[in-house]
Amino acid sequence: QVQLVQSGAEVRKPGASVKVSCKASGYTFSDYYIHWVRQAPGQGLEWMGWINRNSDATNYAQKFQGRVTMTRDTSITTAYMELSRLTSDDTAVYYCARDFSNWNLDYWGQGTLVTVPS
Amino acid sequence: QSALTQPASVSGSPGQSITISCTGTSSDVGAYKYVSWYQQHPGKAPTLMIYDVSNRPSGVSNRFSGSKSGNTASLTISGLQAEDEADYYCSSYTTGSTLVFGGGTKLTVL
C-alpha cells in the first residue's frame, strides 16, 4: 500500500534551518510529483511548492521563494523540504503529499511538527 | 495568490444535505477543471474526497459530490452522518502551475 512516512518533530531557534524528510513506499516513486503543504496551529492548509518526477524542476509559492528548497533522492525514495531563516511564524505541521494527477493530492504523510519558539 | 473563499462553518442534522462553497477567480477555479476537496479530522492528515471538480477516489462514499459553476466550486454531502464532522478544504490549480487552498470550513453535525 502507498505510504509516505515523514521524519519526527523538530525544534529550531529563530534564524536556523530545518530539513524534513518524506519516505515513500508502495508505488513507483519516480512516477509522481511531490508537494509540500503546511498548517499553522489552528489555521488552514498552505501550499508551499512541488518538485517534479525527475528533480529537474521545482515550483515554490511566492511567499517561500528564496527560503525553501525541495529535493528528492530516487535511490532511497525520499523527498526533502528544507526551510531556512526560520521565525516563530514558521511553527506549523508540515506535510508531504503525492500528486496523482492535475495537482490532486491523493496520499499524505502523517505530518511533521516544526516548532520555532519566539 | 490569495486563498480561495470558503464559509468558516456550516452545520446540519444527521440525514440532511449540506453544501460548502469555494469561490476563486478566473485564474484558478474558473479557468481549470482541477478543483479538489479534502476532509481533515482533528490531528489527522487531510484525505482527498473529490478531484477534478466532481470525481470521487476509490473508497469515498457516494454521499460526497462536487460541482463547479464559473468561479465557484461546491461540495455537497448528502445523508449527513456524525463521522462527516470535520474540516473541509478546497484547492485549485492556478496559472503558473501553482496550487491554492481555501481557508477551510468546519462542518458540525448537530
Per-residue pLDDT at A55: 87
Confirm if A88 and A81 have CB atoms less than 8 A apart: no
Mean pLDDT across B92-102: 95
Query: What span, in angstroms and rounded, lies between the C-alpha atoms of B7 and B2?
Result: 15
Q: Looking at the complex, report in whole angstroms how far the Cα of residue B7 sits from the nearest Cα belonging to chain A.
A: 13
Q: Is the pLDDT of residue B1 over 90?
A: no
Please indicate whether, in this complex, the C-beta atoms of A103 and B45 are within 8 angstroms of each other: no
Per-residue pLDDT at A68: 98
pLDDT in tens, A8-26: 999 999 999 999 999 999 9
> How many whole angstroms from its chain centre is CA A80?
6
Mean pLDDT across A25-29: 97
Confirm if B89 and B102 have CB atoms less than 8 A apart: yes
**Which residues of A fall within a CB distance of 8 Å from B89?**
44-45
Q: What are phi and psi of A75, to 5 degrees?
A: -65, -25
Given pLDDT bands bounded at 50, 70 and 90, which one contains residue A78?
A: very high
Please indicate whether, in this complex, the C-beta atoms of A110 and B45 are within 8 angstroms of each other: yes
The amino acid at B26: S
Given CB atoms, is A1 within the 8 Å cutoff of chain B?
A: no
pLDDT in tens, B30-58: 999 999 999 999 999 999 999 999 999 99
Mean pLDDT across A108-117: 98
Interface of B with A (CB under 8 A): 1, 3, 33-34, 36, 38, 40, 45-48, 51-52, 57, 89, 91, 93, 96-104
